[in-house]
Homo-oligomer: A and B are copies of this chain.
Amino acid sequence: MSKAEVVPKLMAVFQQYGYEGASITRFSEATQLKRASLYHYFPNGKEEMATVVLDYITQALQEQLLAPLRSDSPPIDRIRAMNQNVDAFYQHGQQDCLLALLSIGEAHALFQGRVQQALNLWIDGLAAVLLEAGITPTTARHRAEDAIVQIQGALVLTRGLNNTTTFERILQQMPEMLLRPE
């Protein structure tokens, strides 16, 4: 099995259990590899696994969420395209966000830099579209932050209420929220 096949399975474990809840045993079950095999791929254990997974999702962020924002369609259609992929990315809100999970507990100190970088990529990508749509810079930045705030908050509520309707509603109202007149 190649490393490229292993990483998404590790990601799934981190997404389900968070950093401290993700044990080597759980990784072993998810990948069908014994503990020692995992250490062959990742000599520094869990911390290295999380680093690789973070790089993997940062690339997914760029390809699946940011790329659609740079098409030549009208701004509102680009945001809708991103949101369709957001919906798939988080499985209608049923999948936790790793950037949020890796900010908790001892993971926070370890991965703060990478998490911050990924979130800023996302915010900057959204703000760029809003600028193109004629929104002023400060407002564009604020609204882009609000979009990520709403996605992350909706994920929390989806889990807490055990119900994806809020997540879907938030995504639906987001394009017009972002592009409303100032």
Q: Is A127 an interface residue (CB 8 A)?
A: no
Complex: A150 Cα to B155 Cα, angstroms? 11
Q: B149 to A119, Cβ gap below 8 A?
A: no
Complex: A171 Cα to B99 Cα, angstroms? 22
Which size bracket describes the interface of A in this complex? 35 or more
Q: A104-B159, A119-B160, A146-B150 are in contact. List 7 more A-B contacts (CB 8 A).
A: A20-B21, A100-B159, A112-B162, A150-B153, A152-B153, A153-B154, A153-B156
Q: A156 to B161, Cβ gap below 8 A?
A: no
Q: A103 to B153, Cβ gap below 8 A?
A: no
Give the most central of A99, A103, A104: most B CB within 10 Å: A104
Contact of A18 among B16, B105, B148, B161 (CB under 8 A): B105
A84 CB to nearest chain B CB (Å): 20
